[in-house]
Chain A
């Protein structure tokens, strides 16, 4: 394929709140343009990870090239860049948006605008994209397209009088969307003759090709043999292959030129050399300056991950290594725990990211994991002037050495129907939120603004939010900064032995409540043993809560009938096997789920 005139290229993404139909619209576009026939297409082609399909969210950016013959008789190349849909992946979203000229904003005709819609719109506006609203699900009985049209105009300030009224699910009015893409989304306007300047918006690892870099060519062109340099990391390599994205496959081509979206491979073995947001240029003829906006993404949430079976430690290490090849934002380093043995301290962008990695390890790599309570990064200012950043409560120094501590705060926006405003405000207050204000978006819906400590939202905040708003609240947040705070380390002692994996850092005011809940929960989770087991929570040497697991009274097979010794032995074997799945701390057997259950303390 030769050079394509830029005025026949349209690069765009689709943005929407979860469930508003982003992936369905993408599927319909692929189908209508003949990129994929209905028969070839599985539901929602773009969400191709099993996990993504199950959760109905996009985790990795997906990209596909589409050829569309418009009503004016011309053929256009569409590059559809599907973006992750969760706040944890905001940075990836912003880079994907930077690869586009326009965005289709999908709004549900019944539900209207949600917090996440706004968050994404602001990101798109920041990236100077042309936003083209589309009103979806107009065939629902509860659809109110005119109300939603006004909402788009009033709340976002977008012109929406000619927004297509569609049903992605039932294929209504999809042509109109395709025509508007040609009309409304600007063509790219790069300099085809200038030095190479390309934006990396994603990368994946392929066992045969090595790292595959997804990029948008802004200026210049790149082909096999071009020597390139990655401006932020400084890595230099020769290009082995360039190509574009077919539906679900990589299609090699001669050259990628200004305005195009495609991939390139070099003999790169480490995804860390190809950071999302970095600029690729020619080594011999570099561009004057890199594209703006590159930042190194840093994990916000940490936890320990341990194999339930200690012998699986090497398997866990291999699995993390492989996952990191596709996900440079995942960090891990080895650590040991007295209670859990050898494992890794892992860093994540947020709680969803953590859950996704955990699920992928368990499903795709068949690992049985024990996860410790998530922690944020605390800053500790010691009396000797030293400043520590800790992600594992176990590493907290003795209180006498601490001058003060700081914890991270986020700015949060919660959109909720007005009837639940009280309940949500109460929740935010319980979570030490600082109220900033409230806006009424319309009569029945309000936007609450809070500053919240990150460590209060990484446990079960989402669950609590959903349960207290009957599912109607949506939530978005941004890192704000570090704030001085009165924090203490809470230790858990089981049978008078400290269990390091259960320690965590908590605000002093909430320590008693948390300690009490922890002990109660552990009492439920730890099975009765041959002897009485005290469970205690302590700050330093001071015990602040206690529960007792009573010894069990009876474990005896009264009747052993007719000489059937084999059956009796099987029962004993089962009993012994069961114990292997427990973690031995001193003389006490602690089941795996006890370590996790304390993460879900429903404090209400």
Chain B
């Protein structure tokens, strides 16, 4: 391990999809041409190499879109560029997202050889009728075949994504997916509640909330999911994430704890060089400008105030919460001095608690975490 160097994470956005899902508002879809994009992406990755010279990469995340749509040749080229410009820890967590039906044995072997050691599979549901409703391209059987191949290829760090509170879904149907997946035994499970996003076909259908499970049902699904997964040995460690001990997603933990990261690809966000920024979201513009300062948007200084706010509102996403000691050590003031009244108020309402020197959300606090987190934003004059 290269001691003395700071840690860094890399995110690589691959927006390609076979088809756009009906709920999805990510920057992804079937319309983006691979060739020019990958060329721009590799140019961008290379251009930040010198700036990251003194960093060692502790995790890489290939997200999408559907990264598994890349061919083995494309994967090799991309990995080659990354290796050429960044120092990657021997034990780094390297994750690729994949959709069932887009992975074959050859591609899995290739990924394995390139050093990918974690796969995140977008299943969403084990019920085919729900998969059709969501507009997914695969059936549950397709997933099972992929799952088997993933195991055979020797991947032992696997996440399965599930989506809950789907239109028309009841509690039993929701838990059927959870139980079925837990039985398969992946190391990590993400269980997200569906969010109806503007600009999606689902928005047209469900923006009014009709046809969706009620808030009460949705919360029941979330709580029952946690209980069920606990019985299978999964620990609830973040609002929507569960893992076997030691198998938390390291890359995401980095986001919540202020580890610097470089995001490559259109729309990708970075925390680097004392600022937060995002790449432009327009394909043509990105392809033209990738790697230049002009491609960056929404640049904001990562100042003391932002760091304080983020340590709180991001740290509270984690079940373990935020360490008072870390806060004081980093900022030279205690959490109590900055946030005393807010903490007291929410503790009084049973939404926050302090355990073993860490401030965290209670179970009920998790349900209404936005209301709590919003109060950790500081006025200009605070801090």
Please report A residues at the B interface, Cβ cutoff 8 Å.
530-531, 552-566, 568-569, 571-573, 575-576, 579, 587
Contacts and interface: CB of A to CB of B under 8 A. Distances in A.
Contacts of A587: 349
A566 to B, nearest CB: 6
A6 to B, nearest CB: 70
A573 B216 CA distance: 26
Given A566-B269, A575-B370, A558 B192 contact: yes
Given A562-B263, A563-B263, A569-B309, 9 more contacts: A554-B219, A555-B368, A556-B370, A557-B370, A563-B269, A564-B269, A565-B310, A565-B314, A566-B300
Interface string B212-233: 0001101100000000000000
19 contacts: A552-B215, A554-B215, A554-B218, A554-B367, A555-B369, A555-B370, A556-B370, A560-B255, A562-B63, A562-B269, A563-B11, A564-B278, A565-B255, A565-B269, A566-B269, A568-B313, A569-B309, A572-B373, A575-B374
Interface string B292-315: 000000101000000001100110
A564 B351 CA distance: 25
Interface in B339-383: 349, 351, 366-371, 373-375, 377
Interface string B47-58: 000000000000
Most buried by A among B268, B300, B310, B368: B368
B377 A576 contact: yes
A531 B371 CA distance: 12
Contact of A559 (B192, B351, B366): B192
A309 to B, nearest CB: 15
Contact of B215 (A553, A560, A573): A553
B317 interface: yes
A587 B350 CA distance: 14
B195 A558 contact: yes
Nearest to B191: A558
Which of under 10, 10 to 19, 20 to 34, or 35 or more describes the interface residues of B? Answer: 35 or more
Contact of A565 (B216, B219, B271, B349): B271
- Choose among A555, A568, A579 the residue with the greatest number of B CB atoms under 10 Å from its CB: A555
B19 to A, nearest CB: 20
Contacts of B63: 562
Most buried by A among B216, B298, B366, B370: B370
Contacts of B269: 562-566
Contacts of A530: 349, 351, 368, 371
B222 to A, nearest CB: 8
B183 to A, nearest CB: 23
Contacts of B314: 565
A566 B302 CA distance: 11
B276 interface: yes
Nearest to B194: A558
A568 B309 CA distance: 12
What's the dominant secondary structure at chain B's contact region?
A: mixed
Contacts of B313: 568-569, 572
A576 B26 CA distance: 25
Contacts of A579: 374
Contacts of A575: 370-371, 374
Contacts of B158: none
A204 B278 CA distance: 57
Nearest to B218: A554
Contact of B268 (A552, A553, A562, A565): A562
Contacts of B11: 562-563
Contacts of B20: none
B240 interface: yes
Interface in B97-120: none
B193 interface: yes
A566 B255 CA distance: 12
A160 B267 CA distance: 79
Contacts of A564: 269, 278
A572 B195 CA distance: 16
B261 interface: yes
B18 interface: no
Contacts of A566: 269, 276, 278, 298, 300
Given A563-B255, A564-B269, A572-B370, A558 B216 contact: no
Contacts of A556: 193, 239, 366-370
Contacts of B349: 530-531, 587
Contacts of A563: 11, 255, 261, 263, 269-271
A559 B63 CA distance: 14
B188 interface: no
B13 interface: yes
Nearest to B379: A576
A562 B13 contact: yes
A64 to B, nearest CB: 54
A458 to B, nearest CB: 37
Contacts of A572: 313, 370, 373-374, 377
B375 A555 contact: no
A9 B12 CA distance: 88
Contact of B240 (A531, A558, A565, A568): A558
A530 B267 CA distance: 35
Contacts of B298: 566
Contacts of B268: 562
B1 to A, nearest CB: 24
B377 A553 contact: no
Contacts of B215: 552-554
Nearest to A575: B374
B193 A558 contact: yes
